[in-house]
Amino acid sequence: MSDPVSPNIRRLTYADLPQVIAIERRAFPTPWSLAMFVLELSKPSGVCLAADGPDGILGYCVCSRYDTVWHIMNVSVDPGHRREGIASALLAALIDRVGEADPRFTLEVRTSNAGAIALYERHGFRAAGLRRRYYQDNGEDAVIMWRTPATLRGRLDDVPNAVDPLRRVV
């Protein structure tokens, strides 16, 4: 693990996409295409952030708004800079930039990705469902996680159709 860095969090731009695509390819078995990033950056209701370090982009976050819910589509950190607080800084900046009273966020994460699940839980997300065979590369299930006023109190009262797939008391 590298020494921790304190990233500068800023808006992700089209000019960043070559670095983003390179990280995406190193980080995921089925990376997003350039067209997928261009589409998300073109949405006026989205929030796309980059975490800059001394030598370029260390990570990024892509989030789109659908009606009253923010859907976190992609959070990634360059594999050489993981466990340095970069994803946490991106999530905190995203939540801060959305800035509305009691915003609602949702996301999907691989059931095997215990580190990411723990990260999201530290930011007030709770498991509230499962998407069977969600990931195309291996058919792995995804945990559906939500961050709402209720999840911040450890409950799922305001999450639609919530069932804790991790089998914890709700």
pLDDT, tens digit, for every residue of 90-120? 999 999 999 877 789 999 999 999 999 999 9
pLDDT score recorded for residue 86:
96
pLDDT score recorded for residue 102:
75
State how beta strands 69-77 and 104-110 pair.
parallel
pLDDT level of residue 143 (50, 70, 90 thresholds) = very high
Task: Read off the pLDDT of residues 145-156 as tens digits, 9 standing for 90 and up.
Answer: 999 999 999 888
Least confident of 52-66, 80-94, 130-144: 130-144
Cα–Cα dist 12/50, whole Å: 5
Identify the structural domains of the chain with CATH numbers, from first to last: 1-100 (3.40.630.30), 103-170 (3.40.630.30)
Tokens of 42: 């073109």
pTM of the model: 0.89
Are 20 and 12 in contact, with CB atoms under 8 Å apart?
yes
Task: Read off the pLDDT of residues 34-47 as tens digits, 9 standing for 90 and up.
Answer: 999 999 999 998 99
Residues 6+ apart with CB under 8 A from 151: 124, 125, 126, 128, 159
pLDDT level of residue 169 (50, 70, 90 thresholds) = very low
Number of H helices, E strands in the chain: 4, 7
For the chain, first and last CA: distance in Å? 35
Rg (CA), the chain: 16
Q: Which of 24, 108, 121, 134 does the annotation list as catalytic? A: 108
Write down the H helix ranges in 10-124.
Answer: 17-27, 34-42, 86-98, 114-122
Q: Which of 60, 84, 120, 135 does the annotation list as catalytic? A: 120
Tokens of 67: 């009606």
The DSSP output letter for 85 is: S
Task: Read off the pLDDT of residues 46-76 as tens digits, 9 standing for 90 and up.
Answer: 999 999 998 899 999 999 999 889 999 999 9
Q: Is 100 a catalytic residue?
A: no
Mean pLDDT of 118-143: 91
Q: Is 140 a catalytic residue?
A: no
